[in-house]
Structure 1
Amino acid sequence: MTSATRPPAPSPPEYDGTSPFPTAEAGAPPTPGRRIYVTITGIIVVAPFVGLAVAIPLLWGSVVGPLDLVLLAVFYAVSGLGVTVGFHRGLTHGSYTAAPALRIALAVAGSLSFQGDVIDWVATHRRHHAFTDRPGDPHSPYRYGTGLRAQLRGLVHSHIGWLFGDDPTSHQRYAPDLLADPGIRAVDRAFPVLCAVTLALPFALGWAIGGSWVTGLTALLWAGFIRIALLHHVTWSVNSLCHVIGERPFRTRRHDRATNLWPLALLSFGESWHNLHHADPTCARHGVDRGQLDVSAALIRLFERAGWVWNVRWPDPARLAARRIEAG
């Protein structure tokens, strides 16, 4: 039988919203390049906890000081807002247009979070939106199904397990605009250096302000390792918890189970108002209802008033009303 007469391969069955995702594509062994990438990812994920394990015994008995907490808050805010305002709302979704210098500055700030290079972060998140909670989503908690055991396994996968899988995201397909941007490519290449900087700066500031290597070490512990670990888990919780528990006041696409989870709102700078984000991904504000704190949106508003960003996609009442699920 020639290729011209061979019947076409049957198309895969449509996803029903409850079945485990097909895993046939995961059977191939990872390429050497992918193994290196997963190894580096492991170092990035594990390094903050190794640092904690080493630093805590050395500093046991020390009392955390105001300098440590101030530096922790500053570095958490800079790197966290770099992710939420820069990586996510700006580069991934185009919620606003930024001046070139601010665009690069936010990309650098986001890279200080230790969450991966900027182009891969954006490409992976765009893919997540293209296939939310169905086959193709790189970190859906519904990967193994919707039963209790499957759901618990899925939560682990969506929180951290997906980082170690052999499921790379194509930068050419999902982030061609960033590949064509010389400034963003430069930030992307500088990621290993920025990882060193995000640990060296707290140590240097702690030593310079506190006056000894001990204050440098405590600053490294709190504003370096603990800050990175906390921000990691807050970001990963948006991937995992904000697709399983919480409220869903807005209509999303079929199978998309994104939720609003208010306890994470402050630590995530407004990212945990995740249901509205998935209902209207390009909206610059995620917390749109009364009392929903959204620090990232407030910062974008400040940038807009300063003239550093424009074409901001603020919430549109008619669009929100069309997506809102009527109570009762």
Structure 2
Amino acid sequence: MIAEDSDPNGEKPEPRRKTINSPYIHRLQRRHFLLFDILPILGTAGAFAFLRVHPFGLTEFLLLFSMWLATGLGVTVGYHRLFTHRTFTAAPWVAAVLAVLGSMAGQGGVVSWVALHRRHHEYSDREGDPHSPNLSGGGLRGTLRGLAHSHFLWMRRHEYPNVVHYAPDLIKDRGLVRVARLYYYWVALGLLLPAVVGGVVSLGWTGAVSGLLWGGLVRIFVLEHIVWAINSFLHMFGTRRYVSRENSHNGGVFALVTLGESWHNNHHAFPESPSFGLDWYRLDPGFWVIKMLESCGLAWDLKVPSAKRMAAKRLSGNAEPVGNAA
């Protein structure tokens, strides 16, 4: 249902716009695309070139891994499971830390990210979905165009979801809005930290540059493409365990590297669940972190679906994709 604004004159109110198109917003999108989508590609190439000056060692590996893990958990636990789907409730300071870590990933401010993802769920694999791979025609050409669009190119210019419509709960949270307004500073901090650590450990400028490259730009590049592959490949390929109205699939082999996000069909079938794996033997590091927070009294109200509800939506056998059914 489209929300409507009240009119004191008693006239029929205008429907609230779900999306906003303006030259100013499209300029911001192009700038963000260049800074945080194109620059990490160049930074990754630069990191390999810089190996001639400073070799890849234990410090670089630890910086790459720790920054990837921290910011990846910020995206999956914070941006996705907490703020977008409200699958659990967290202590305010935990929510703030998750929002900061998610911001460091360079995938957009928390309010914008949430609005985009909620729109994706509303229109998934139908007209209006900002990054479906299934709306570019049939055949090999349509498949390749769809994958390129959903994986990467859609971010250059797209309809911006109206945050008043899609994220009214977030814009009422003053603390979260303050974090969102400092988005570019958090991204810069995520680049500065590994540079400082690399410089201190090596006691030289080459270590600082190497830390910036591997713990900063390469880390953003790796995490981005992991997240984007969920949007693109897992809406075309993989297995389907549950009934859902779109083409979401599971890619269990990638469960660890995606921190549980690759149980994508499970997630679309039960978007309110903090567990994407749903079963204990399906690896889901994001859910492990939420359970750890719960055990410490820092998270509560976990909305895991019942066994009966899961059984009611379970597909039998190796089901085929359901297409773009509404």
Q: Tell me the TM-score normalized by structure 2.
A: 0.88
Secondary structure of 1:207's aligned partner: helix
AA in 1 matched with 2:317: A
Pairs within 5 Å for 1:1-328: 30-60=22-52, 62-253=54-245, 256-289=246-279, 291-327=281-317
- How far residue 148 of structure 1 moved from its aligned partner, in angstroms, is 2.4
Q: Give the aligned CA root-mean-square deviation in angstroms.
A: 1.8
Structure 1 Cα separation of the partners of residues 280 and 94 of structure 2: 30
Judging changes above 3 Å, is the alpha-carbon distance between structure 1 residues 55 and 260 closer, same or farther for their aligned structure 2 residues?
A: closer
Secondary structure of 1:292's aligned partner: coil
The gaps in structure 1 that reach 5 residues or longer are: 1-27
AA in 1 matched with 2:87: S
The gaps in structure 2 that reach 5 residues or longer are: 1-19, 319-326
Aligned positions, number: 300
Cα deviation digits, residues 139-177 of structure 1 (max 9, x gap): 000121333211110011100111012321111111111
Deviation larger for 147-156 or 268-277: 147-156
AA in 2 matched with 1:271: E
Structure 1 Cα separation of the partners of residues 185 and 216 of structure 2: 15
Structure 2 Cα separation of the partners of residues 65 and 186 of structure 1: 37
AA in 2 matched with 1:327: G
* Percent of aligned positions that are identical: 39
Judging changes above 3 Å, is the alpha-carbon distance between structure 1 residues 203 and 309 closer, same or farther for their aligned structure 2 residues?
A: same
Indicate conservation of the 8 Å contact 1:284/1:315, yes or no: no
2:6 is matched with which residue? Answer: none
Indicate conservation of the 8 Å contact 1:258/1:278, yes or no: yes
- How far residue 72 of structure 1 moved from its aligned partner, in angstroms, is 1.1
- How far residue 30 of structure 1 moved from its aligned partner, in angstroms, is 5.0
Deviation larger for 301-310 or 43-52: 43-52
Judging changes above 3 Å, is the alpha-carbon distance between structure 1 residues 68 and 258 closer, same or farther for their aligned structure 2 residues?
A: same
Structure 1 Cα separation of the partners of residues 196 and 311 of structure 2: 50
Deviation larger for 201-210 or 231-240: 201-210
Structure 2 Cα separation of the partners of residues 60 and 285 of structure 1: 44
- How far residue 289 of structure 1 moved from its aligned partner, in angstroms, is 3.6
- How far residue 213 of structure 1 moved from its aligned partner, in angstroms, is 1.7
- How far residue 55 of structure 1 moved from its aligned partner, in angstroms, is 4.2
Structure 2 Cα separation of the partners of residues 29 and 300 of structure 1: 37
Structure 1 Cα separation of the partners of residues 291 and 109 of structure 2: 26
